[in-house]
């Protein structure tokens, strides 16, 4: 039975089928999407505007002067800071020929959907990471003063400096995260700050004194995807999406750290990695109408204008996304190196 003429379709699939495809679309790449868990997720309603705005109300100054008898205080005005961002559209399409559909034993359409989902997830995550890593609150590992002078993996002292900074700026620990589901809902976690970075830093972080691996948590089942453990007040989550600036530490040269993404045998400039440490309400994420707001489409090979023999079909996806840092004092970027050959 065909799709009724009065039903809106996504290529050759109905809305009901599109929902199933959408769920499958992001399934393969879901483990890579960690940024969305710790920010404010505020979906933009369709047919409204591409512009998004957050309003942060500023704290009142402390009232430390004694009141004069019979004289009321002058009072304070409520002030606020607006943060804006603009939704942008992203997407891609992948060609499927009738020869592949007719002659291959593999489930090619399913594989293409899986690969498209992985690409969509990586695209969305990269967009968000690029916005967050452009923040102005930067720490450099082990006392370095700039990206070019970074010449150390992260240290416990670095995390303590960031913790002190967060506390001095009234940054609150995260106690609710976005649940890993198709709906926008939250789930409780032990209050803590979270730190996201590249998997190349795994060994260096585990070597930091006081590191607690996930297996030693009181309840290891509460660990998040990609979480390797904690350092004092920070829970550490690593994925390969947090790509370094290659050979950016131009004031240092050697073979101790990864350079150009690999271990080198002759002196090279180290790559500079980063860890994004975040507190509650540090940033916001806006998809268009829905959690990840990805629209899939499947067009099977069939005769059409420009393709009279029906030789070409498509699997595609598109999305509207944006993000913004809501408070620079509640997010910190720690720039560091990754040891080329980890030891015990």
Rg (CA), the chain: 24
What rounded mean pLDDT belongs to the chain?
84
φ/ψ of 231, rounded to 5, equals: -125, 105
| Measured torsion, CA atoms of residues 307, 310, 311, 317, in degrees rounded to the nearest 10 | 80
The mean pLDDT of 18-38, rounded to a whole number, is: 68
Same domain, 146 and 23: no
Taking the C-alpha atoms of residue 117 and residue 114, their distance in angstroms, rounded to an integer, is 5
Same domain, 275 and 315: no
Are residues 73 and 67 in contact, defined by beta-carbon separation less than 8 angstroms? yes
**Does the residue 67 lie in any domain?**
no
**Burial of 272 (C-beta count, 10 Å sphere; 0-12/13-18/19+):** buried
pLDDT bracket for residue 4 (50, 70, 90): very low
pLDDT bracket for residue 1 (50, 70, 90): very low
pLDDT bracket for residue 257 (50, 70, 90): very high
The pLDDT of residue 28: 63
Tell me how many domains the chain contains.
2
The pLDDT of residue 164: 98
Same domain, 201 and 275: yes
Question: Pick from 97, 11, 112, 104: which is nearest to 311 by CA?
Answer: 97
Strands (E), the chain: 40-41, 51-57, 80-86, 88-97, 138-140, 174-178, 186-197, 211-213, 227-231, 234-238, 273-278, 283-287, 294-299, 312-325, 331-336
| Tokens 């996304």, located at residue | 321
Instruction: Dig out the tokens for 241 from the structure.
Output: 């999406």
pLDDT bracket for residue 186 (50, 70, 90): low
Please name the helix (run of DSSP H) or strand (run of DSSP E) that holds residue 174, with its range, or none: strand 174-178
The whole domain housing 194 covers 136-284+327-336
Q: pLDDT tens-digit profile of 155-177?
A: 999 999 999 999 999 999 997 76
Side-chain half-sphere of 148: how many Cα atoms within 13 Å? 2
Residue 332 has pLDDT above 90, yes or no: yes
The pLDDT of residue 180: 53
Quote the pTM value: 0.84
The pLDDT of residue 95: 86
Q: pLDDT tens-digit profile of 193-251?
A: 999 999 999 999 999 999 999 888 877 777 888 999 999 899 999 999 999 999 999 99
The pLDDT of residue 337: 97
Same domain, 225 and 267: yes
Same domain, 311 and 279: no
């Amino acid at each position: 039975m065909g799709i009724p003429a009065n039903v809106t379709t996504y290529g050759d699939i109905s809305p009901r089928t599109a929902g199933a495809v959408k769920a499958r679309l992001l399934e393969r790449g879901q483990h890579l999407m960690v940024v969305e868990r710790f920010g404010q997720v505020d979906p933009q309603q369709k047919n409204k505007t591409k512009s998004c705005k957050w309003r942060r109300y500023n704290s009142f100054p402390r009232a430390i002067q004694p009141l004069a008898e019979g004289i009321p205080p002058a009072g304070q005005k409520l002030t606020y800071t607006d943060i804006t961002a603009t939704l942008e559209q992203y997407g891609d399409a992948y060609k499927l020929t009738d020869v592949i559909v007719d002659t291959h034993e593999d489930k090619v359409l399913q594989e293409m959907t899986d690969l498209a989902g992985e690409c969509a997830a990586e695209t969305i995550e990269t967009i968000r990471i690029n916005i967050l890593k452009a923040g102005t609150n930067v720490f450099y590992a082990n006392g370095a003063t700039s990206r070019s002078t970074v010449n150390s993996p992260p240290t416990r002292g670095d995390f303590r400096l960031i913790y002190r900074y967060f506390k001095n700026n009234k940054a609150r620990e995260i106690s609710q995260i976005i649940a890993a589901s198709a709906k926008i809902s939250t789930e409780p976690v032990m209050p803590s700050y979270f730190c996201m970075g590249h998997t190349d830093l795994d060994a260096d972080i585990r070597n930091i004194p006081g590191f607690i691996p996930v297996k030693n948590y009181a309840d290891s089942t509460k660990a998040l995807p990609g979480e390797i453990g904690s350092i004092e007040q920070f829970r550490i989550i690593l994925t390969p999406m947090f790509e370094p600036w290659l050979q950016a530490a131009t004031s240092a040269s050697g073979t101790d750290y990864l350079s150009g993404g690999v271990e080198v045998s002759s002196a090279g400039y180290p790559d500079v990695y980063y860890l994004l440490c975040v507190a509650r309400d540090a940033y916001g994420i806006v998809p268009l109408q829905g959690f990840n707001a990805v629209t899939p489409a499947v067009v099977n090979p069939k005769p059409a204008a420009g393709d009279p023999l029906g030789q070409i079909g498509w699997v595609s996806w598109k999305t509207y996304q944006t993000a913004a840092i809501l408070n620079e004092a509640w997010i910190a970027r720690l720039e560091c190196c990754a040891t080329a050959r980890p030891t015990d």
